[in-house]
Amino acid sequence: MSVPAQPDDDELELVRRSGVALRVGRLSLSAGTGSYRVKASMSRVAHAVGIERHEAHVTLTEITTTSHRGRSFRTEVAEVRAIGINAHRLARLERLARDLEARHVSTGEDVPVDEVHAELDRIVATPPLYSALLNALWSGLACAAFAFLNNGGPVEILAVAVGASLGQAVRRAMLHRGYNQFGVTMLAAATACLAYLAVISSLAATGAIGGHHEAGYVSAVLFLIPGFALVTGALDLAKLDFSAGVARLTYALMILTSAALSLWAVSVVVGLSPDPLGPMDLAPVALIGLRLAASFLGVLGFALLFNSPWPMAVAAATVGMVANTIRLELVDAGVVVQAAAFGAALLVGLLSSVVAPRLDVPRITISVPAVVIMVPGAAAYRAVFHLSDGDTVQALAFAVQAGLVVVALSIGLAVARMLTDRTWAFDR
């Protein structure tokens, strides 16, 4: 009977080194970044700890890596079930990977694995920057800004702020308890819609408002837009990483569908239709000023919702404020919606390439929150609503509109990366 060969010291050391590189990948993937950034971070850490060659295959929830050192190699597979966004953790992980690589190059010595694990332990132990209450308020702030940009008035803005805050509070509490993400999305959407309608009904009952204000309730669920997944998925496709890109876009579509079906169910029960609101009657100068303010606050709310530190969030809000206001003005001037979206996303990408290095943060933490406010979530929700209601023509019209804008936004960001990053401009 043959005795299994025992691994030698070199093989055991490779196990330790490949393990820490894989851990960086798992943390980066769970923080919400695209697969191309996960691969880059793992590769940097792998080389810093002495792995000679490192290859990885990354999807939305899985990582497969092979590490080579001398005559030994090790292949590992890991699964990441927690899909979320943590911009602060993402920035720290990328900074760590960059610093480890620079240290390895400057000293010519391998970084001790235990030292990398200790730093990763500190990153993991860092609690969220904002409490559950503040997290809910950031959601309300972002959606209230969305409500104004969707032609809502003061009543709609107030009701949306309340509804979105309560919906996010429900979503965060249930996700932290491990409930199914799609079921949580449906419940959060229903909570936001019902809270919006409760505010409107209460104000109407007291005589504080008159007329009809129910149509703005679709803005109350826009905090559920999977903006990171949509943008990073499209960027993965631009890098020819089809397995990761298709998986991310499929996930984003399922989240959108879950929220939209809940919106449809509430609409059927209450007897409402999420029709677009009419344009506001404001002077051009006032409209531009309010759009600048709403765009800034909307992006700021989304960035803080993604656990961004304040400097990062303010930078993203400033970039998004400029680009989104220009986009809206172009649309008002008669420019095709998707062309205006492309131009705005291109501007976001170019500005992010200047701002992000100065703040020492990943470009994605600036560009994605700035672009999320341009994602036509209301049109996507209306598409699913009309499809569920049997109105195929209306559903197709909204779906095409939303799809073209998302594609244009993705192309704009990808072109900006090609213009400012050699790793994007060339395949080799």
Cα(151)–Cα(279) distance, rounded to whole angstroms? 6
What is the average per-residue pLDDT within 209-222? 71
Can you give the pLDDT at residue 215?
60
280 DSSP 8-state letter = P
pLDDT of 402 higher than 70: yes
Q: Residue 1 — pLDDT band, cuts 50, 70, 90? A: very low
pLDDT of 84 higher than 90: no
Can you give the pLDDT at residue 211?
57
Q: Residue 428 — pLDDT band, cuts 50, 70, 90? A: low
Q: Residue written as tokens 């129910």?
A: 214
Mean pLDDT of the chain: 87
Can you give the pLDDT at residue 5?
47
Which residues of 59-168 form beta strands (DSSP E)?
62-69, 72-79
Give whole-number Cα distances, 292 to 179, 328, 377, in Å. Answer: 38, 10, 20
pLDDT of 394 higher than 90: no
Q: Is the pTM of this model over 0.75?
A: yes
217 DSSP 8-state letter = G
Q: Could you tell me the residue ranges of all domains in the chain?
A: 9-125, 132-425
Q: Residue 24 — pLDDT band, cuts 50, 70, 90? A: very high
CA angle 121, 175, 385 (to 5 degrees): 140
Can you give the pLDDT at residue 3?
45
Can you give the pLDDT at residue 37?
87
What is the average per-residue pLDDT within 386-411? 85
Residue type, 73: F
Better-scored residue on pLDDT, 404 or 208: 404
